[in-house]
């Protein structure tokens, strides 16, 4: 009898193991069905615009299942995009509170929560998370990008500069143009002329093509009566950004006149044209020649310019010359009317456009209001521009 029992013992153990596995599988299937039911019920709540109920069910399902973390991150992003930031925060906080979350997923959840705080205007909370990620995470590119964006929003230029300086050499190199604009922003906020000049020169140290810094140095040297520095920076502008010469014309004319040096002004305009400065510089030179009563030279210069680079500005200036030369009568009245119509058209058309996103503007913005890029808004080239 004992021999039979010993023979049956392995069979009984195997049977017990099988029944235990079957019971466990049954419990898992039952649990999974419950999770799936809650999960899809939550999705239905979202589709029915019952977001509060949806968030509660989705967060509860997180406590039991770790296989749908990516989906929860996506749902949180969806809520944030829809403007339901409080619900996005609740989902991402639920993710972070999970002790079983891997390091990579925890960093993703923290970054998502920082984005939520940014969208909600909780800048201090977002800053704390992003700074923590930069200090601890291996891949910090996205965290650095959002932290810089945060500091731009709060106009904390020094902090933004420090973030860029803390980047690797390769990543910092790609941000040098932006870094220069931050120094220009600091210069605008300073009330001390010497400090402003120092900050602008610091901008040029990081980006010698920062035409904005040169343009500001031209204005400062002109206001200070430093004619030597004014001329030096005026010519530096060519190498930095030839297109900005058109934006320096008002201060240039005034300064050259104050120093009784219109001859130098004429040479400057001629040399700028030879480097492709555009229609505004051509018109400035034509206007100067007209004032010097060199009408034939002015007209010939304008005609040559229109043959090679036709523009509405040039056409309007040519009509202005013809109006001045025309005798009183119907022909002069028609020319005057046509000149006014062209002038209205020029005023209606934008003078600047962002080279990144195409945003049109009548004003020169250093920071594009549309795509938020720095230094991408330039004067429009072609028939309606330069």
Residue 50 has φ and ψ, to the nearest 5°, of -105, 70
Q: Is 4 exposed, middle or buried (0-12, 13-18, 19+ CB in 10 A)?
A: exposed
| Residue 215: both structure tokens together | 């343009």
Considering Cα of 305, then 306, then 312, then 314, what sign does the dihedral take?
positive
Least-confidence region, from 20-34, 74-88, 134-148, 165-179: 20-34
The pLDDT of residue 71 is above 80: no
Percentage with pLDDT > 90 across the chain: 50
User: Is the confidence at residue 31, as pLDDT, over 50?
Assistant: no
Quick one: which of 280, 293, 288 has its CA closest to 256? 288
Surface-to-core class of residue 363, CB atoms within 10 Å of its CB (0-12 exposed, 13-18 middle, 19+ buried): exposed
Q: How far is CA 308 from CA 159, 301, 304, 314, 383, in A?
A: 48, 11, 7, 11, 11
* Percent of the chain residues past pLDDT 70, beyond the cut: 82
Give residue 10's pLDDT.
52
Query: Among 36-45, 133-142, 210-219, 322-331, where is mean pLDDT lowest?
Result: 36-45
Q: Is the pLDDT at 63 greater than 60, yes or no?
A: no
Identify the H or E element spanning 378: strand 377-379
- Determine the straight-line distance between the first and last CA of the chain, rounded to whole angstroms: 109
Q: What is the pLDDT at residue 5?
A: 43
**Model pLDDT, residue 149:** 93
Q: What is the DSSP letter of 382?
A: S
């Amino acid at each position: 009898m004992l021999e039979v029992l010993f023979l049956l013992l392995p069979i009984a153990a195997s049977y017990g193991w099988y029944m235990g596995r079957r019971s466990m599988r049954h419990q898992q299937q039952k649990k999974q069905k419950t999770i799936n039911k809650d999960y899809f019920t939550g999705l239905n709540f979202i589709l029915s615009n019952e977001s509060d109920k949806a968030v509660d069910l989705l967060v509860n399902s997180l406590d039991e299942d770790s296989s749908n973390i990516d989906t929860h991150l996506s749902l949180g992003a969806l809520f944030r995009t829809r403007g339901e930031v409080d619900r996005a925060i609740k989902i991402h906080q639920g993710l972070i509170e999970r002790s079983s979350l891997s390091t990579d997923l925890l960093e993703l959840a923290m970054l998502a929560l920082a984005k939520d705080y940014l969208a909600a205007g909780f800048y201090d909370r977002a800053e704390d998370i992003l700074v923590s990620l930069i200090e601890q995470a291996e891949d910090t590119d996205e965290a650095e990008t959002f932290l810089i964006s945060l500091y731009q929003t709060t106009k904390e230029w020094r902090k933004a500069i420090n973030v860029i300086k803390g980047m690797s050499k390769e990543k910092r190199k790609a941000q040098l143009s932006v870094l220069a604009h931050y120094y220009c922003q600091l210069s605008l906020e300073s009330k001390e002329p010497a400090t402003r000049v120092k900050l602008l020169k610091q901008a040029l140290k990081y980006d010698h093509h920062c035409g904005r810094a040169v343009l500001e140095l031209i204005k400062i040297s002109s206001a200070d009566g430093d004619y030597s520095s004014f001329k030096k920076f005026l010519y530096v502008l060519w190498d930095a950004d030839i297109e900005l010469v058109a934006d320096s014309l008002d201060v240039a004319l005034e300064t050259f006149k104050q120093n009784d040096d219109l001859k130098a002004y004429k040479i400057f305009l001629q040399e700028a044209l030879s480097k492709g400065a555009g229609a505004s510089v051509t018109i400035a030179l034509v206007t100067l020649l007209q004032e010097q009563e060199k009408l034939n030279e002015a007209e010939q210069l304008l005609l040559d310019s229109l043959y090679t680079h036709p523009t509405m500005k040039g056409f309007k200036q040519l009509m202005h010359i013809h109006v001045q030369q025309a005798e009183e009568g119907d022909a002069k009245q028609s020319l005057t009317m046509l000149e006014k119509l062209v002038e209205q058209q020029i005023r209606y058309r934008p003078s600047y456009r962002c080279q990144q996103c195409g945003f049109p503007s009548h004003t020169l913005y250093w920071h594009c209001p549309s795509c938020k890029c720095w230094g991408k808004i330039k004067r429009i080239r072609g028939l309606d521009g330069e």
